[in-house]
Amino acid sequence: MAALGIAMGGGNWFSALVLGVTLLKCLLIPTYHSTDFEVHRNWLAITHSLPISQWYYEATSEWTLDYPPFFAWFEYALSHVAKHFDQEMLNVHNLNYASAKTLLFQRFSVIFTDALFVYAVHECCKCIDGKKAGKELTEKPKFILSVLLLWNFGLLIVDHIHFQYNGFLFGLMLLSIARLLQKRHMEGAFLFAVLLHFKHIYLYVAPAYGIYLLRSYCFTANKPDGSVRWNSFSFVRLISLGLIVFLVSALSLGPFLALNQLPQVFSRLFPFKRGLCHAYWAPNFWALYNALDKVLSVIGVKWKLLDPNKIPKGAMTSGLVQQFQHTVLPSVTPLATLICTLIAILPSVFCLWFKPQGSRGFLRCLILCALSSFMFGWHVHEKAILLAVLPMSLLSVGKAEDASIFLILTTTGHYSLFPLLFTAPELPIKILLMLLFTIYSISSLKTLFRKEKPLFNWMETFYLLGLGPLEVFCEFVFPFTSWKLTYSFIPLFLTSVYCAVGITYAWFKLYVSVLTDPPAGKTKKQ
Amino acid sequence: MEKWYLMTTVVLIGLTVRWTVSLNSYSGAGKPPMFGDYEAQRHWQEITFNLPIKQWYFNSSDNDLLYWGLDYPPLTAYHSLLCAYVAKFINPDWIALHTSRGYESQAHKLFMRTTVLIADLLVYIPAVVLYCCCLKEMSTKKKIANALCILLYPGLILIDYGHFQYNSVSLGFALWGVLGVSYDWDLLGSLAFCLAINYKQMELYHSLPFFCFLLGKCFKKGLKGKGFVLLIKLACTVVASFILCWLPFFTEREQTLQVLRRLFPVDRGLFEDKVANVWCSFSVFLKIKDILPHHMQIMISFCFTFLSLLPACIKLILQPSPKAFKFTLVTCALSFFLFSFQVHEKSILLVSLPVCLVLSEIPFMSTWFLLVSTFSMLPLLLKDELLMPSVVTMVAFFIACATSFSIFEKTSEEELQLKSFSISVRKYLPYFTFLPRIIQHLFLISIIMMVLLTLMTVTLDPPQKLPDLFSVLVCFVSCLNFLFFLVYFNIIIMWDSKRRRSQKKIS
């Protein structure tokens, strides 16, 4: 009884938050799940029933294994639990198999592996030096941060409705960030290396890790003006870091190297055959670019500058077209996006090198890397915005300026996830959860920074409020208009363009703030 | 209120939980020929929309009363009619006469669930929020925590959004009534309560405390002066609101009588199904239903009910106060549930509502009661395939209560409001100091029993000779708990003013 009392009461708010969100996840079990559910079931079947040499060759289902080896091993481990639920789901030829037990198992596997995420959030909360602690629990930065991370709208709908395993992957990432913040660099590097071999999308933020470790760990001292002291370089540290990364990679890729399958693995991991934009347009620079192209072509046809017969038919009428053909503006090649991404990342990395600002500088560089690759990357998923949103939560409770950027980024980024859930029963859930998260994040951060200048100017407020009418138009007005059949792409188009504006703005604002921040030596000693 | 955003968050959490539960199955899904309460509600829309008002409650070739005939008061019928108009707008097949029987589709389920959510959002949730905001002697944070717990009460969510009913409407109106009467808006309060009764006749369980409390107020003001005026005003309000609701049925005597016959089906027996009241639970030992003649059963159940609620009601007339009113609501509803004639397992919600209202005053006992009340509906919930949402919402509710009120630290005599009772017992038994400990142990035993029984019901097959073994056990255990709570709440009411007096003496 007493133990129960201590566990439950006694102001142990963290476990209450965790239990609450876990129960919510359990309630989400019967909701809609996307094809990703079948993707992961197929991977369970592949890893369970085939030898390793077949894993990256198997192509019975169209959802071939395209994650790095650690994730395949993860599925392999899961499959040994899965066989106690329903043997049938482990059959490679059982396409689109989704019995009640399969559903239960897959959903619970996500919920259970989220334990790692919970632990990572716990560690992150320990090492953030948020604004001075308020008196009330609900005004403590740690409490706010825990809610922002644990109850993150994006993670909830992507993992527990749409179906993916981002929870524990982000857990690994947050944990490695926490370790770096705690000055346990080796552990952080190790965790990040492991993470990269779980899901290679995290390569986007690898530059930040690399430069930070090199600058702040391999170089052990700074000159008084904050620039690097070249003779303080520690070879031992560099070599041990290199060793860690090498060993992890060897463990992951070694077996495939031995089987002489590396080219096949890489061709699965980096499928450049896919289109510039994902099925739904991720709200990034290319969405704006495509929109501009579309507008120009419409204007061109109207003013007789273009020949209507030359315009590719149906290029954008539905959101499901993989290859997008530009009509006016030049088409974009993968190489071009790669160059754009690198150019966008470079300044932030330079900043991290020349003006290292300790952990905050690292975090901001990491977010800029994630955001820049989201802005300019090839075939970006709208889900990738979480890569910037989650680390940004850590910053948001520290400074009012960051909080403002965080709120714009998060609200628009989360809103851009709406098209993921298009079924009617999930409509109230996504709206309610979005409102829940948005109202909470905005109000709590406003309360936290109430003594400083307002978080939003009138333009930002106007923009964020505009999301409401946009949602009403897309979900409640548009389906009842006569355009529904001929211009079915309009809601997706509007959503991604509107959100692209907000995310570009947040990216730009964060960049400006990073570049104009005074160097470390003057403001903060670290 | 400076913490409005937290209150909004709490309401949104409540709504999210409600909607996620509603994604699950409903009663009688895909079970012809009778289906369940979901089909009943749909059928009422069909009847009210297609038939003239005079035929709603009468058996005819178009209205087979044996197939979910309308047996709720007129407001429910009007509500069905309103929903039917919306249904007609979306898809006329849903309410087509005869042909729509047993209509089931994903879109229709969505529509029905939405009607429940809207009704809840309009009636029950605002009442809960307002009630919590009006609580006195409490920090804002506590008020919000209280609202969270009430909104997360699993019983109501599971029955309304899982099983399918519109309890939140009648309970919501009753809550508006409680609010009005407690804050001296007597006329509005009684109007709201009349609406509640006219929505669901089961609200009569609450009527005696309302009557006694208002009567007590009138007495207090002096029956010769202001009190008498108030009494007349109240009577007029009640009569007027009833007439308004029943207007179409007052045109002929036969109409009124037929509606009343439908509302109080005395020939349906002492109890149906498995319900955690005294008659059903103890029928294992003594089959009253078979031994005694029908009218004797009615007499006995009436006497028991009357006797068990009498003390609290008299006390309320003599010393009317909002606090005593809430506790009397609990005991009266509980007495009706335990002893009265023709009780449904879902009627426990009528007891749960007032218990939710005293959650902040006796958090430990209220949480316990609310858990037992949800547990007592387990057989019903299992039949509707709602195991998962039931377990999840019960655990969530428990955690919410435990963290918001730290209930395990509130088990002293003082916190259980048993101080004055213990003091008076100690006059005769000086060693009577173990009450809180006994209650703690009882709590543990009760929780363990509930968990074990749930596990057994879910995992084991009952022996062939006793197919109802587990549901009977569930009812029996719940009934024992309820009897204990009846005694407990009566003790609180009876020793209430003595406690206050003794406190005054000390101070």
> Left (φ > 0), alpha (ψ -120 to 50) or beta: where does A98 sit?
beta
**Minimum distance, in Å, between the CA of residue B387 and any CA atom of chain A:** 11
Cα A44 to Cα A73: distance, rounded to the nearest angstrom: 10
Tokens found for residue A273: 């055959």
**Minimum distance, in Å, between the CA of residue A27 and any CA atom of chain B:** 6
**Minimum distance, in Å, between the CA of residue A444 and any CA atom of chain B:** 8
Q: Is the pLDDT of residue B306 over 60?
A: yes
Of the partner residues A4, A5, A425, the one whose CB lies closest to the CB of residue B110? A425
In a domain, A21, yes or no: no
Q: CB-based contacts of B81: which residues, under 8 Å, 6+ apart?
A: B45, B48, B49
List the one residue out of B182, B171, B133, B402 whose CA is nearest residue A12: B402
**Minimum distance, in Å, between the CA of residue A480 and any CA atom of chain B:** 12
The pLDDT, as a whole number, for residue B507 is 47
Return the number of other C-beta atoms located less than 10 Å from residue B417's C-beta.
Answer: 21
List the one residue out of B217, B213, B18 whose CA is nearest residue B125: B18
Over the stretch B157-189, which tens digit does the pLDDT of each residue have? Answer: 999 999 999 999 999 999 999 999 999 899 999
Cα A495 to Cα A418: distance, rounded to the nearest angstrom: 9
Interface contact B20, partner A, CB < 8 A: yes
- To probe the interface with B, which of A26, A147, A448, A455 has the most B CB atoms within 10 Å? A26
Strand-pairing partners, residue A222, are A228
Q: Is the pLDDT of residue A322 over 70?
A: no
B470 and B456 Cβ atoms separated by less than 8 Å = yes
Q: Name which of A336-350, A352-366, A466-480 the model is least confident about.
A: A352-366
Over the stretch A285-308, which tens digit does the pLDDT of each residue have? Answer: 988 888 888 888 888 888 877 766
The DSSP symbol for B341 reads S
Q: Do A24 and B16 touch (CB under 8 A)?
A: yes
Q: What is the total residue count of chain A? A: 526
- At residue A274 the predicted structure's pLDDT band, cuts being 50, 70 and 90, is low
In a domain, A134, yes or no: no
- To probe the interface with A, which of B8, B23, B140, B415 has the most A CB atoms within 10 Å? B23
The two most distant CA atoms of chain A are separated, in Å, by: 81
- At residue B111 the predicted structure's pLDDT band, cuts being 50, 70 and 90, is very high
- At residue A320 the predicted structure's pLDDT band, cuts being 50, 70 and 90, is very low
Q: Is the pLDDT of residue B326 over 50?
A: yes
Residues of A in contact with B389 (CB under 8 A): 27
Q: Is A380 helix (H, G, I), strand (E, B) or coil?
A: strand
Cα A193 to Cα A198: distance, rounded to the nearest angstrom: 9
Q: What is the DSSP string of B482-497?
A: HHHHHHHHHHHHHTHH
- At residue A331 the predicted structure's pLDDT band, cuts being 50, 70 and 90, is confident
Mean pLDDT within B310-319:
92
Domains in chain A: how many in total? 1
Helix axes B469-494, B496-506, angle to 10 degrees: 40
Cα A173 to Cα A8: distance, rounded to the nearest angstrom: 29
Q: Is the pLDDT of residue B116 over 90?
A: yes
Angle at A198 between CA A192 and CA A200, to 5 degrees: 80
Q: Do A26 and B392 touch (CB under 8 A)?
A: yes
Mean pLDDT within A271-280:
61
Over the stretch A97-132, which tens digit does the pLDDT of each residue have? Answer: 889 999 999 999 999 999 999 999 999 988 876 556
Q: Name which of B88-102, B405-419, B487-501 the model is least confident about.
A: B487-501
**Minimum distance, in Å, between the CA of residue A302 and any CA atom of chain B:** 39
In a domain, A430, yes or no: yes
Q: What is the DSSP string of A301-353?
A: HHTTSS-GGGSPTTSSSSTT-SS---SSSPP--HHHHHHHHHHHHHHHHHHHH
Computed over every residue of chain A, the mean pLDDT equals 86
Q: Is B395 helix (H, G, I), strand (E, B) or coil?
A: helix
Cα A520 to Cα A514: distance, rounded to the nearest angstrom: 11
- At residue A325 the predicted structure's pLDDT band, cuts being 50, 70 and 90, is low
Q: Is B500 helix (H, G, I), strand (E, B) or coil?
A: helix
Whole-prediction pTM: 0.92
Over the stretch A189-239, which tens digit does the pLDDT of each residue have? Answer: 999 999 999 999 999 999 999 999 988 888 887 777 777 777 788 889 999
The pLDDT, as a whole number, for residue B451 is 95
CB pairs under 8 A between A and B: 92
Over the stretch B124-138, which tens digit does the pLDDT of each residue have? Answer: 999 999 999 998 888
Residues of B in contact with A22 (CB under 8 A): none
Over the stretch A10-38, which tens digit does the pLDDT of each residue have? Answer: 448 899 999 999 999 999 999 999 999 99
Residues of A in contact with B393 (CB under 8 A): 23, 27
In a domain, A375, yes or no: yes
Over the stretch B395-414, which tens digit does the pLDDT of each residue have? Answer: 999 999 998 888 888 888 88
Computed over every residue of chain B, the mean pLDDT equals 90
Return the number of other C-beta atoms located less than 10 Å from residue B271's C-beta.
Answer: 24
Structural domain boundaries, residue A418: 285-516
B201 and B72 Cβ atoms separated by less than 8 Å = yes
Q: CB-based contacts of A254: which residues, under 8 Å, 6+ apart?
A: none
Tokens found for residue B361: 């005053």
Q: Do A10 and B8 touch (CB under 8 A)?
A: no
Q: Is the pLDDT of residue B72 over 50?
A: yes
Q: Is the pLDDT of residue A186 over 70?
A: yes
HSE-up of residue B292 (Cα within 13 Å, Cβ side): 16
**ipTM at complex level:** 0.92
Tell how far CA B158 is from the center of its chain: 13
List phi, psi (to 5°) of A219. Answer: -90, 120
List Cα–Cα distances, B143 to A135, A456, B8, B77, B304, in angstroms.
Answer: 18, 30, 13, 36, 37
- At residue A133 the predicted structure's pLDDT band, cuts being 50, 70 and 90, is low
- At residue A277 the predicted structure's pLDDT band, cuts being 50, 70 and 90, is low
The pLDDT, as a whole number, for residue A180 is 92
Helix axes B74-90, B37-50, angle to 10 degrees: 80
The pLDDT, as a whole number, for residue A9 is 43
List phi, psi (to 5°) of B496. Answer: -65, -55
- To probe the interface with B, which of A8, A147, A423 has the most B CB atoms within 10 Å? A8
Residue with tokens 């958090």: B363
The pLDDT, as a whole number, for residue B51 is 93
The pLDDT, as a whole number, for residue A309 is 65
In a domain, A323, yes or no: yes
Q: Is the pLDDT of residue A318 over 60?
A: no
In a domain, A199, yes or no: no
- At residue A316 the predicted structure's pLDDT band, cuts being 50, 70 and 90, is very low
Cα B468 to Cα B477: distance, rounded to the nearest angstrom: 14
Q: Do B403 and A13 touch (CB under 8 A)?
A: yes
In a domain, A28, yes or no: no
Tokens found for residue A387: 């890569």
Q: Is the pLDDT of residue A333 over 50?
A: yes
Outline where DSSP puts E strands in B325-440: none
Angle at B312 between CA B309 and CA B317, to 5 degrees: 120
The H or E element that residue A109 is part of is helix A100-127
Cα A469 to Cα A466: distance, rounded to the nearest angstrom: 6
**Minimum distance, in Å, between the CA of residue A159 and any CA atom of chain B:** 16
The H or E element that residue A468 is part of is helix A458-471
The pLDDT, as a whole number, for residue A484 is 78
In a domain, A85, yes or no: no
Angle at A145 between CA A141 and CA A149, to 5 degrees: 175
Cα A107 to Cα A41: distance, rounded to the nearest angstrom: 11
Q: Is the pLDDT of residue A523 over 50?
A: no
Cα A440 to Cα A391: distance, rounded to the nearest angstrom: 18
Tell how far CA A111 is from the center of its chain: 18
Cα B100 to Cα B88: distance, rounded to the nearest angstrom: 12
Q: Is the pLDDT of residue B483 over 90?
A: yes
Of the partner residues A10, A12, A23, the one whose CB lies closest to the CB of residue B396? A23
